[in-house]
Amino acid sequence: MAYPKGVYHFIYDNWSGDTLPPLPAPSCKLALDSRQLRVSMDAIKVSGLDQKDAVSQDSVPLRIRLEERAINAKPSINFTDAGTPENTSHTLRPNNAGAVGSRQRQGGLGVRQRRNQQTDVYFGPSSSSDGSRSIALGTASSGNPVLTLDLNAHYVRTTAAPIQPGAFAATATFVVSYP
C-alpha cells in the first residue's frame, strides 16, 4: 500500500528489541516562490487616512506557501520587522526609521499586514516568549500536504502630525518553525 509523503507506516509483527524504532521528525518545505516576496504598493491619497492608526482600505495580497508537510507537522510562523528588529507592534516601519542620518524622505506611514482582511499580524523576534506573535498554521491532512497563509498589506498612518510625501521601503522577515 502506498502512503502519502510524510505518512509513515510501521509493521510491528516481526519487531524484536526493547524499544520501538524512533518515528521520523515531522517536516515541511517552504515553496520556492514564498522564500522572497516582493510587494509593491501603489501610491495613496493620504486624505483617506485622516487620523493616527487609520488603515487604508486598499491592500496588496501576498501568500506564503508550505509544501510537503508531514502529517504530524504543526508549523507556525513568526514575523520580524527587519528594519527595526525590536519592533513588537502590528505596524511594519520603514527601513531605517528613526536612524540618525537616515535619508528616508517619507514620514508618517507604515505597513500593516492582516489575515482575513481584519486580524493584524504582530512583529517581534522569533525567540520571543510571547506566543501571541506566532501564527499557528494548522496541521496537514493526508489528502492535502500544502498549506497557504494569505495576508494583505495595507498602509497605516503612524502619526497625528502631517504626513510627509515620498517613497519608502519596509522589510519583514519570517521564520517558520514546527515541532
pLDDT tens sequence across 82-112: 988 999 999 999 987 655 555 555 689 999 9
The three grid cell numbers given for residue 28, joined into one nine-digit string: 515541511
Domain that residue 107 falls in: 52-177
Q: Judge whether 154 and 58 are in contact, CB under 8 Å.
A: yes
Asked if the structure places residue 77 within a domain, the reply is yes
Asked if the structure places residue 97 within a domain, the reply is yes
Asked if the structure places residue 47 within a domain, the reply is no
Q: Judge whether 124 and 88 are in contact, CB under 8 Å.
A: yes
Asked if the structure places residue 82 within a domain, the reply is yes
User: Distance between CA 23 and CA 10 in Å, rounded?
Assistant: 9
Q: Please report, for the domain that includes residue 114, its CATH number.
A: 2.60.40.1090
User: Distance between CA 164 and CA 21 in Å, rounded?
Assistant: 63
Contacts of 88 (CB under 8 A, 6+ apart): 122, 123, 124, 128, 130, 133
Angle CA 147–153–157, to nearest 5: 150
| Chain position carrying cell 495613496 | 44
Asked if the structure places residue 150 within a domain, the reply is yes
Structural domain total, the chain: 1
Q: Judge whether 42 and 61 are in contact, CB under 8 Å.
A: no
This prediction's pTM = 0.76
Asked if the structure places residue 19 within a domain, the reply is no
Asked if the structure places residue 26 within a domain, the reply is no
Give pLDDT tens digits for 137-165. Answer: 887 666 777 888 999 999 999 999 999 88
